[in-house]
């Protein structure tokens, strides 16, 4: 637990500090997170990231997540998806020269991995560009959900949520996480009313509950992946916490949902 707390404080300070700073330093951090997350996914499936599909999939994820238009304006306003499509087509073109050893079905994992990671971090950066408050709102909703689910689950948890995917999670813990997320969201709005989105408190409560549920689904999706591939953690880069995917699995789902529901 001590190691977990120390890692959380240091990693959190670095991430939040660069998030507040924004611009290129934060973009570089996100690029590193994308590369590490892709390497963790490929390692789960016992594939090499330094292979043609690994490199192309990582480039696809980076092109989707980073503000390519800002750095390469000549590519046009939709350069993220254009470059993503280009790298996908290159992967598909490789099939022609492999004499059946690399099939259309083999493209599924690297393509879906690139989209999963790329679209999540793309929306993280979009949230930061729109509002630092929205970025922090997502972070604190996810952190409050995790903490609330953990402590309420330990104290009152009896009914298993989805034991085949995550045997320790309970319905009571999940509900505790939702309540915690709503409370934290309300506190943030009361503390920073000028930075908060112009929505009613009821609307905020509903959205916070939705984001908490979506975050828990993101966490369960990654748990399902780890169970499928027979690994305990996605990586070991964060002592006591596992890998980058272990820390960002919920956020990868929450930020796109925030965008979909119009918060940025």
Dist. CA 211–CA 108, nearest whole Å: 28
In three-state secondary structure terms, 23 is helix
Task: Please say whether the beta carbons of 161 and 173 come within 8 A.
Answer: yes
* Bridge partners of residue 183, in order along the sequence: none
**What pLDDT was estimated at residue 18?**
95
User: Does the pLDDT value for residue 98 go beyond 90?
Assistant: no
- How do residues 50-80 score in pLDDT, each as one tens digit? 998 899 999 999 999 999 988 888 887 789 9
pTM: 0.90
Structure confidence by residue, pLDDT tens digits, 128-149 = 999 999 999 999 999 999 999 9
Mean pLDDT of the chain: 92
pLDDT of residue 24: 95
Write down how long the chain is.
264
CA dihedral over 189, 191, 196, 198, signed as positive or negative: positive
Q: Domain residues of the chain, as ranges?
A: 1-130, 131-264
- The reported pLDDT for the residue numbered 1 is 62
Residue 104: pLDDT over 90: no
A 10 A CB-CB count for 178 gives 24
Alpha-carbon distance values, 33 to 120, 121, 237 (Å):
11, 9, 11
Residue 173 is predicted with a pLDDT of 97
SS3 of 168, please? strand
Say how many C-beta atoms besides its own lie within 10 A of residue 37's C-beta: 29
Q: Residue 84 pLDDT more than 90?
A: yes
Closest by alpha carbon to 264, among 153, 129, 107, 114? 129
* Interval 237-248: pLDDT, tens: 877 678 999 999
Q: What is the pLDDT of residue 5?
A: 77
């Amino acid at each position: 637990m001590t190691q977990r707390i120390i890692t959380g404080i240091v990693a959190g300070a670095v991430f939040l500090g660069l998030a507040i700073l924004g611009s290129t330093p934060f973009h570089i951090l996100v690029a590193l997170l994308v590369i590490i997350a892709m390497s963790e996914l490929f390692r789960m499936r016992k594939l090499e990231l330094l292979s043609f599909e690994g490199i192309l999939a990582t480039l696809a994820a980076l092109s989707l997540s980073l503000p390519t238009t800002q750095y390469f304006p000549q590519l046009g306003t939709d350069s993220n998806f254009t470059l993503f499509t280009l790298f996908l087509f290159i992967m598909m073109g490789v099939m022609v020269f492999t004499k059946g050893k690399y099939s259309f079905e083999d493209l599924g994992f690297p393509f879906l991995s690139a989209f999963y990671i790329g679209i999540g971090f793309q929306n993280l950066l979009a949230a930061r560009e729109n509002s630092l408050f929205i970025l922090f709102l997502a972070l604190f909703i996810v952190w409050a959900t995790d903490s609330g689910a953990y402590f309420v689950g330990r104290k009152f948890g009896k009914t298993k949520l989805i034991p085949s995917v995550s045997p320790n999670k309970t319905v009571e813990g999940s509900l505790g996480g939702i309540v915690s997320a709503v409370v934290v969201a309300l506190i943030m709005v009361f503390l920073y009313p000028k930075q908060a989105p112009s929505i009613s408190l009821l609307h905020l409560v509903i959205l916070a509950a939705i984001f908490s549920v979506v975050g828990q689904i993101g966490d369960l999706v990654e748990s399902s992946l780890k169970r499928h591939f027979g690994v305990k953690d996605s990586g070991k880069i964060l002592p006591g916490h596992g890998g980058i995917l272990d820390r960002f699995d919920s956020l990868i789902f929450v930020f796109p949902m925030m965008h979909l529901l119009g918060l940025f």
